[in-house]
């Protein structure tokens, strides 16, 4: 019995041993397989381990910052927040504090002030049957300061989700130059316009990563080495733009845009000695923080247009440089038959008689320039200068979207009109580059707006942009002589640039009044239907700045000049910039007297069309007012060659029906002139200024009508006279 029991015991031990051995063998095989195999049952073992025991955290990097020339941020990445409200009471379950919105009316009322959202709109959002809601557009991308204000309210259920956004501290400020960014599907900022787009690869950042191990409970293992892939912040961009001067430009453009509502404004301020663009702007513009864009074109570099008489300075420079210009030589102004076909007229079709070429430049005579081109310089020689000035190619400024303009130079008339800025098109940045040759003693400087690109992490300069000479189209002597003549455009009684005089500083420059082509290819006619411009250099003897301003089709009143909006920008920006740059004012009594009171000679307007007469008068600084419905001027209230001050009103009689103007506030001299123009039978009572008139405003005005006016002194003058009498009596 014992032997039989022992037999079964031994058999059991053997089976146990065999089963155990088989188990261990299978375990070893399994372990070996697991060690050698990548996947088990279709699952990647490494990925499984990484998922359960490896942890990584993103180390965020920042997009590069765009700075001005002085290191002031113009575009930077900042943290913003989206405001949400938790509405479900279950969020507060098992919590000592309330984690959902408790008082919806109070929450809506207090948040509406900070988020600038209507209280009823917020209350509607807070009433939705959802666990959590975002508080609309007003609650997106709010600043750190707004977040802190909301937190101080201690409103239950209000939560914040952080995100990165691009921030432009100055709002509408060189917006077309800077551009803007948008967020792509991965939540990254991507440049969509301007430098943000063209330099996207330089500005773009690369996030880093920190990896480490954890146990099955999720605790980080303390003795494991962390693996860190450091972030790479985007490169920083430093511009040549100076915030102080750009601010002057932005403010001036905003004032003019509001007052005159033009179709476009383009303006550039440059350093002619280096080619640096210190300010550049457009209207219409936009705020890149909200992207309220109506114009996607950076007009100073992308918009090609017929520039008008500002182009005459380059024809003049070519003539001087070739030694064919004699400023004291006379020519007959008014009209000129172009050899090969066509006729060119001055803005004053009657002309100013026989005048010198210097006076022709001052008066902006198309005839004078046409003679220089065809009879002195020659079209082919001028074409070479035109190309040397850079007008047939892009300047290469480091901005996207530059245009090269269009040369129209096949027929004799086209060649002639190109010499005074019609037909062929150019860009504002081309004008700035070409004008630098005149301002910089013959050395034409390539314009640039990026100063350097810097590695944010190492502070090392990745790329440096230096000044570059784009050509030498004229000599230093030619440039100096030309600046002296262009200074008289501003200072001479015959000059068209009186409006651009700056008290304390000399200015050399040239005005431009270009015709504008409509969608049918025809020139638009009418008061203000032009592109008005000015290219100016200051101080004239050694320019520190070249400034170009162009205003397209401003809404002008009858008494307003085309130069008014342009000069408003030019004078305020140039004077402010020179003072900021600590350029010493000139001790020049003539300049200061010109600004305070300058003299203009009345032109002969009779026989001209109404539009021609108005253009001529406004170009000289007068305020012409047409009294009739005709298309030709048959009389004027102030006779030609009379000397008057800038801004004087001159009334024009036309060949159609004429209307009586309001003469309230006129002086006795003014009403006498009107009376002579229409042979009126005038009766005057009193002294001072007109306070009543017998012929009503807009009534038809005919020869030999009876006109009775009453004059009175202004109340202020009356009170002063009374005071004088009292003092005498005492």
Give the separation between CA 583 and CA 696, rounded to whole angstroms.
54
pTM: 0.76
Query: What's 502's domain CATH number?
Result: 3.40.710.10
Going by pLDDT thresholds of 50, 70 and 90, the confidence category of residue 279 is: very high
Going by pLDDT thresholds of 50, 70 and 90, the confidence category of residue 3 is: low
SS3 691: strand
Helices (H), 492-636: 563-580, 589-596, 610-620
SS3 336: strand
Residues in CB range of 23: below 8 A, 6 or more apart: none
Q: Which residue matches tokens 């860190």?
A: 228
Going by pLDDT thresholds of 50, 70 and 90, the confidence category of residue 56 is: low
Let me know whether 297 and 177 are in one domain: no
Give the separation between CA 631 and CA 611, rounded to whole angstroms.
8
Does residue 414 sit within a domain? yes
pLDDT in tens, 87-126: 999 988 888 889 899 999 999 999 999 998 999 999 999 9
Give the separation between CA 476 and CA 472, rounded to whole angstroms.
9
Give the separation between CA 632 and CA 613, rounded to whole angstroms.
9
Let me know whether 696 and 716 are in one domain: yes
Highest mean pLDDT among 341-345, 515-519, 560-564, 582-586: 341-345
Structural domain ending residue among the three candidates 534, 567, 596 = 596
CA angle 430, 434, 435 (to 5 degrees): 115
Going by pLDDT thresholds of 50, 70 and 90, the confidence category of residue 717 is: very low
Going by pLDDT thresholds of 50, 70 and 90, the confidence category of residue 722 is: very low
Residues in CB range of 213: below 8 A, 6 or more apart: 53, 54, 55, 220, 221, 224
Does residue 213 sit within a domain? no
What mean pLDDT is predicted for residues 299-317? Answer: 97
589 has pLDDT over 90: no
CB atoms within 10 A of CB 342: 15
Let me know whether 282 and 356 are in one domain: yes
Which pLDDT score is estimated for 36?
Answer: 60
Let me know whether 25 and 71 are in one domain: no
Let me know whether 592 and 625 are in one domain: no
Let me know whether 469 and 618 are in one domain: no
What mean pLDDT is predicted for residues 493-517? Answer: 91
Let me know whether 576 and 652 are in one domain: no
Going by pLDDT thresholds of 50, 70 and 90, the confidence category of residue 448 is: very high
Let me know whether 548 and 637 are in one domain: no
Structural domain ending residue among the three candidates 579, 596, 613 = 596
Q: What are the φ/ψ torsions at residue 31 (nearest 5 degrees)?
A: -65, -45
Residues annotated catalytic, as ranges: 309
Does residue 727 sit within a domain? no
Q: Which domain holds residue 100?
A: 62-204
What mean pLDDT is predicted for residues 156-181? Answer: 92
What mean pLDDT is predicted for residues 276-297? Answer: 94
Which pLDDT score is estimated for 599?
Answer: 65
Give me the half-sphere count of Cα atoms (radius 13 Å) on the Cβ side of residue 123.
9
Structural domain ending residue among the three candidates 178, 204, 230 = 204
What mean pLDDT is predicted for residues 664-677? Answer: 84
658 has pLDDT over 90: no
Does residue 616 sit within a domain? yes
Query: What's 693's domain CATH number?
Result: 3.30.10.20
Let me know whether 144 and 93 are in one domain: yes
Let me know whether 195 and 280 are in one domain: no
Query: What's 147's domain CATH number?
Result: 3.30.70.2110
Let me know whether 349 and 375 are in one domain: yes
Let me know whether 14 and 90 are in one domain: no
Structure tokens at 57: 């955290």
What mean pLDDT is predicted for residues 511-520? Answer: 88
Does residue 609 sit within a domain? yes
Q: Which of 209, 205, 210 is nearest to 62 (CA)?
A: 205
CA-based torsion, 532, 537, 539, 541: positive or negative = negative
Does residue 228 sit within a domain? no
Which pLDDT score is estimated for 35?
Answer: 62
176 has pLDDT over 90: yes
Domain count, the chain: 4
Which pLDDT score is estimated for 47?
Answer: 53
569 has pLDDT over 60: yes
Does residue 227 sit within a domain? no
| 673 vs 224, higher pLDDT | 673
Does residue 578 sit within a domain? yes
Which pLDDT score is estimated for 615?
Answer: 76
């Amino acid at each position: 019995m014992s032997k039989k029991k022992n037999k079964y015991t031994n058999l059991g031990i053997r089976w146990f041993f065999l089963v155990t051995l088989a188990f261990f063998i299978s375990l070893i095989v399994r372990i070996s397989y697991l060690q050698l195999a990548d996947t088990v049952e279709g699952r990647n073992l490494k990925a499984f381990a990484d998922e359960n025991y490896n942890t990584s955290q993103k180390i965020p990097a920042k997009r590069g910052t765009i700075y001005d020339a002085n290191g002031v941020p113009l575009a930077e990445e900042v943290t913003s927040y989206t405001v949400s409200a938790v509405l479900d009471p279950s969020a507060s379950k098992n919590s000592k504090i309330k984690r959902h919105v408790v008082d919806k009316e109070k929450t809506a009322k207090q948040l509406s002030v900070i988020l600038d959202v209507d209280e009823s709109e917020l209350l509607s959002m807070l009433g939705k049957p959802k666990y959590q809601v975002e508080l609309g557009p007003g609650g997106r991308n709010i600043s750190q300061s707004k977040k802190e204000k909301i937190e101080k309210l201690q409103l239950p259920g209000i939560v914040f989700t952080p995100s990165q956004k691009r921030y432009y501290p100055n709002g509408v400020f060189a917006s077309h130059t800077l551009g803007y960014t948008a967020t792509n599907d991965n939540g990254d900022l991507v440049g969509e316009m301007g430098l943000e787009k063209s330099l996207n690869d330089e500005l773009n950042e690369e996030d880093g990563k920190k990896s480490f191990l954890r146990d099955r409970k999720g605790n980080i293992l303390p003795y494991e080495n962390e693996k860190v892939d450091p972030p790479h912040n985007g490169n920083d961009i430093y511009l040549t733009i100076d915030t102080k001067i750009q601010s002057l430009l932005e403010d001036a453009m905003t004032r003019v845009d509001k007052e005159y509502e033009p179709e476009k404004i383009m303006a550039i301020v440059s350093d002619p000695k280096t080619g640096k663009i210190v300010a550049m702007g457009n209207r219409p513009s936009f705020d890149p923080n909200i992207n309220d864009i109506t114009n996607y074109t950076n007009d100073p570099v992308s918009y090609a247009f017929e520039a008008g008489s500002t182009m005459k300075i380059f024809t003049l420079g070519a003539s001087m440089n070739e030694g064919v210009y004699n400023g004291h030589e006379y020519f007959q102004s008014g009209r000129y038959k172009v050899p090969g076909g066509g006729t060119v007229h001055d803005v004053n079709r009657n002309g100013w008689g026989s005048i010198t070429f210097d006076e022709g430049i001052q008066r902006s005579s198309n005839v004078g320039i046409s003679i220089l081109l065809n009879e002195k310089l020659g079209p082919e020689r001028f074409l070479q200068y035109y190309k040397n000035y850079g007008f047939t190619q892009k300047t290469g400024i480091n901005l996207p979207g530059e245009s090269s303009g269009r040369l129209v130079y096949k027929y004799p008339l086209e060649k002639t009109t190109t010499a005074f800025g019609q037909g062929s098109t150019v860009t504002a940045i081309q004008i700035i580059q070409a004008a630098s040759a005149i301002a910089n003693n013959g050395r034409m400087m390539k314009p640039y707006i990026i100063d350097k690109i810097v590695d944010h992490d190492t502070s090392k300069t990745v790329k440096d942009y230096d000044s570059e000479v784009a050509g030498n189209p004229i000599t230093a002597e030619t440039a100096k002589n030309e600046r002296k003549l262009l200074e008289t455009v501003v200072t001479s009684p015959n000059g068209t640039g009186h409006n651009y005089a700056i008290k304390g500083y000399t200015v050399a420059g040239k005005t431009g009044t270009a015709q504008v082509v409509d969608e049918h290819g025809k020139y638009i006619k009418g008061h203000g239907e032009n592109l008005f411009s000015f290219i100016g250099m200051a101080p004239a003897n050694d320019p520190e700045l070249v400034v170009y301003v162009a205003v397209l089709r401003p809404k002008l009143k009858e008494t307003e000049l085309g130069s008014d909006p342009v000069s408003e920008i030019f004078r305020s920006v140039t004077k402010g910039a020179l003072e900021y740059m600590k350029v010493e004012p000139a001790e020049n009594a003539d300049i200061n007297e010109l600004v305070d009171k300058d003299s203009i000679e009345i032109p002969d307007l009779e026989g001209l069309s109404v539009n021609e007469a108005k253009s001529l008068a406004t170009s000289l600084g007068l305020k012409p007012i047409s009294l009739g419905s005709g298309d030709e001027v048959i009389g004027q209230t102030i006779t030609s060659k009379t000397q008057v001050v800038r801004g004087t009103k001159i009334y024009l009689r036309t060949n159609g029906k004429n209307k009586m103007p309001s003469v309230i506030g006129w002086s006795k001299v003014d009403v006498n002139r009107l009376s002579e123009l229409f042979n009126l039978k005038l009766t005057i009572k009193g002294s001072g200024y007109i306070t009543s008139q017998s012929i009503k405003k807009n009534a038809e005005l005919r020869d030999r009508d009876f006109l009775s006016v009453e004059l009175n002194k202004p109340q202020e003058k009356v009170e002063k006279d009374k005071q004088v009498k009292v003092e005498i009596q005492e």
